[in-house]
Homo-oligomer: A and B are copies of this chain.
């Protein structure tokens, strides 16, 4: 659990895209995004107040989040100086970089000296249990995809936002590093030991109020041979009551697998339901979330209309056109 709110460290970001983790935090948890820290040469700007460490401390920030991809996979000396100063100032540090904070001896030493925490969100901080498969109170939605990186995290976040706007009880449950940094909590599922994957998802989505929705970030795809085991652990550990099937229509092949074409929406729906019903016989598919970012608006709307006509369930691009249709369907369960 990462303490909030955050000072978002943009470093010397080469462009706006390099700061996409920070952008995600600002978009989805604006109440956590108090200010930004930019170094000389930074080409990203979130439109937040620029703060030095003292100002951010005074404004109540608890954690400095490295919200930027580092160049060349190295945490530079210039960054290190700022990060040590932040620890001295009383901030914890959180990062989703491949290069771990804990692998930098000077940061480990400074964190110990100042009594602060280093959160490398790619690495589990908890010893997860083996899944027990017991039915838990509360409702759960899982985003499942035709492929990796088709919008499963955004779909779950969009549904959470719409549910909260309607006064429903809803919690986005992060299973990847960006989602964990956005919410301050979650399970870095791709880094969990095989035997404990499903148990970590049970841990992430515990019993709750009967009218509370966990909106679980999906990972991988049942049809992506590199990561399908992670997906099935989510389906069985999450015990979803509802599946939303996510797709990106312009994808030419499975991500990273040029020999593999994408499955159809029907194939994903049928395979995911078959397996989900092992853990929760009442599980249903409620709709389709189509990532239309590479399609003009008219084409996107025609595609969504076609999916609805063909598959008989609501279809939307929740980021572009809103998640109301999906929430209507979820609220009816």
CB of A191 within 8 Å of the partner chain: yes
Closest Cβ–Cβ distance, residue A297 to chain B (whole Å): 33
> Using Cβ atoms and an 8 Å threshold, which residues of chain B touch A132?
226, 256-257
> Using Cβ atoms and an 8 Å threshold, which residues of chain B touch A263?
278
Of B226, B230, B254, B271, which contacts A229 at CB under 8 A?
B230
For the complex, count residues of A whose C-beta is within 8 A of B.
40
> Using Cβ atoms and an 8 Å threshold, which residues of chain B touch A259?
133-135
A190 to B, closest residue via Cβ: B195
CB of A186 within 8 Å of the partner chain: no
Complex alpha-carbon distance, A190 and B263, angstroms: 28
Count of chain copies: 2
> Using Cβ atoms and an 8 Å threshold, which residues of chain B touch A190?
193-195
> Using Cβ atoms and an 8 Å threshold, which residues of chain B touch A265?
none
CB of A284 within 8 Å of the partner chain: no
CB of A222 within 8 Å of the partner chain: yes
CB pair B194–A192 under 8 Å, yes or no, is yes
Which residues of A214-238 are within 8 A (CB) of B? 222-223, 225-233, 236-237
Query: Per-position contact with B for A175-189: 1 when CB-CB < 8 Å, else 0?
Result: 000000000000001
CB pair A275–B131 under 8 Å, yes or no, is no
CB of A199 within 8 Å of the partner chain: yes
Closest Cβ–Cβ distance, residue A103 to chain B (whole Å): 16
A195 to B, closest residue via Cβ: B190
Query: Per-position contact with B for A245-278: 1 when CB-CB < 8 Å, else 0?
Result: 0000000001011011001000000010011001
CB pair B198–A228 under 8 Å, yes or no, is yes
Contact sample, A vs B, 12 pairs, CB 8 Å cutoff? A130-B226, A132-B226, A132-B256, A194-B194, A194-B197, A195-B226, A195-B227, A222-B278, A225-B278, A232-B232, A260-B278, A271-B275
